[in-house]
């Protein structure tokens, strides 16, 4: 089949709310990022805005279980929900849902729910490149709420806040995580703190976060991030979490923040695309794999010269960058 016709046809079916077409378009964008250009040319007459929520936290804190609980409640309110899990483990196969009260596999079959799991393979440990485009597809598909789950390792947990309107940081009982969060500066990006696995304790973490916030709020205005506790297996505290999310949404939407957050979201994508382009231009034109190997072989018996070599490379390359 002619590829051009294929994308157009998929987009027509997508507009008829065909989930199979949505799934195909996501796969296309994942495998061939450049196809986004044509795809969104077919969708640019759609007017729809989704509310985008980010869930982040260390591996295993319960992000996927909590996502399942949130999705269940949103669907009960007749909302359409799109989930993106940037996750080393699939939410469908993980042990998290076996025997739990919320079965993600059941929820994901609901007509108003669409879930996609992506491998984390972002630029320099950042968020996977396809995340933005998939969230844009979800918006075009008419999702009321989009949930992006990122595992809080490396840069991803910092960058998620640039793509979403409400950032939720999930911690678990045990002091280590919250101290790490403070050190890493995550304290500044979370709009809501959730201490999950409250069946295992966690009061001390809540106290620590509140104390950190007491110190930090002097410089902030308007929103003091609430600290709540959940047991995402039993669903305890999840209604409260959802209430806090709606409160934050209202706070964002009633202030200039919504506009600012949207601008930041699009700026993030544009920067990411620029970096991507520059990287591929340089690697394709100046230093391909062979060139790099060649440079490597020249240094192999002379390793302390590596910085001299790098210095010389930049001495001999003339960047002639113009903007028209
Ligand atoms: N005791 C207890 N265990 C929980 C709770 N929530 C989740 N878990 C368990 O914690 C484990 C990890 O849960 P996930 O939901 O997969 O966590 P995750 O943060 O998505 O994990 P990654 O995506 O791998 O980073 C599973 O075995 C869950 O059943 C909770 O509230 N209490
Ligand atoms: Mg997960």
Domain boundaries, the chain: 1-44, 48-257
**pLDDT 10s digits, 241-285:** 999 999 999 999 999 999 999 999 999 999 988 888 888 888 888
Q: Please state the separation of Cα 174 from the chain's center in Å.
A: 25
Distance from residue 87's CA to the centre of ligand 2 (Å): 6
**pLDDT 10s digits, 233-245:** 999 999 999 999 9
Three-class DSSP category at 233: coil
Which protein residues are within 6 Å of ligand 1, measured from CB?
57, 59-65, 87, 89, 94-96, 151, 196-197, 199-200, 231-233
Ligand number nearest to the C-alpha of 56: 1
**pLDDT 10s digits, 138-149:** 999 999 999 999
113 forms beta bridges with: 81
Distance from residue 236's CA to the centre of ligand 1 (Å): 14
Q: Where do runs of H (alpha helix) occur along the chain?
A: 3-15, 19-31, 35-43, 63-76, 104-108, 130-141, 156-159, 175-184, 203-216, 238-253, 257-285, 289-299, 306-316
* pLDDT (average), residues 152-165: 78
Ligand 1 atom nearest 85 alpha carbon: 23
Give CA–CA dist 93/34, Å, rounded. Answer: 30
- Considering the domain 48-257 in this protein, what is its CATH number? 3.40.50.300
Give the pLDDT confidence score for residue 155 in this predicted structure. 61
Burial status of residue 49 (CB atoms within 10 A of its CB: 0-12, 13-18, 19 or more): exposed
Give the pLDDT confidence score for residue 22 in this predicted structure. 96
Ligand 1 atom nearest 57 alpha carbon: 19
Give CA–CA dist 116/99, Å, rounded. Answer: 22
The pTM of the full predicted model, rounded to 2 decimals, is: 0.88
**Residue 11 has what DSSP assignment?**
H
């Amino acid at each position: 089949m002619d590829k051009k016709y294929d994308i157009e046809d998929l987009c027509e079916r997508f507009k008829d709310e065909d989930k199979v077409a949505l799934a195909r378009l996501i796969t296309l964008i994942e495998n061939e990022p450049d196809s986004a250009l044509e795809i969104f040319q077919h969708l640019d007459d759609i007017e729809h805005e989704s509310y985008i929520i980010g869930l982040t936290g260390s591996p295993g804190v319960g992000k996927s279980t909590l996502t399942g609980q949130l999705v269940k409640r949103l669907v009960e309110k007749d909302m359409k929900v799109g989930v993106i899990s940037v996750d080393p483990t699939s939410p469908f196969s993980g042990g998290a849902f076996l025997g739990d009260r919320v079965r993600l596999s059941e929820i994901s079959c609901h007509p108003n729910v669409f879930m996609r799991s992506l491998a984390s393979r972002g630029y320099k440990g950042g968020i996977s490149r396809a995340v933005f485009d998939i969230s844009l597809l979800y918006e075009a598909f008419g999702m009321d709420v989009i949930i992006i789950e990122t595992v809080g390792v490396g840069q991803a947990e910092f960058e998620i806040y640039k793509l979403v309107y409400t950032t939720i940081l999930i911690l678990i009982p045990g002091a280590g995580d919250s101290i790490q969060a403070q050190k890493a500066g995550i304290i500044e990006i979370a709009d809501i703190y959730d201490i999950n696995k409250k069946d295992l304790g966690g009061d001390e973490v809540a106290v620590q976060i509140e104390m950190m916030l007491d110190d930090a709020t002097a410089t902030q205005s308007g929103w003091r991030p609430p600290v709540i506790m959940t047991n995402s297996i039993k669903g305890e505290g999840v209604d409260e979490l959802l209430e806090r999310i709606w409160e934050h949404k209202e706070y964002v939407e009633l202030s200039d923040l919504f506009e600012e957050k949207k601008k930041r979201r699009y700026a993030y994508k544009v920067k990411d695309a620029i970096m991507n382009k520059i990287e591929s231009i340089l690697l394709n034109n100046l230093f391909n794999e062979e060139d790099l190997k060649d440079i490597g072989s020249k240094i192999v018996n002379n390793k302390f010269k590596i910085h001299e070599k790098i210095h010389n490379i930049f001495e001999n390359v003339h960047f002639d960058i113009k903007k028209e």
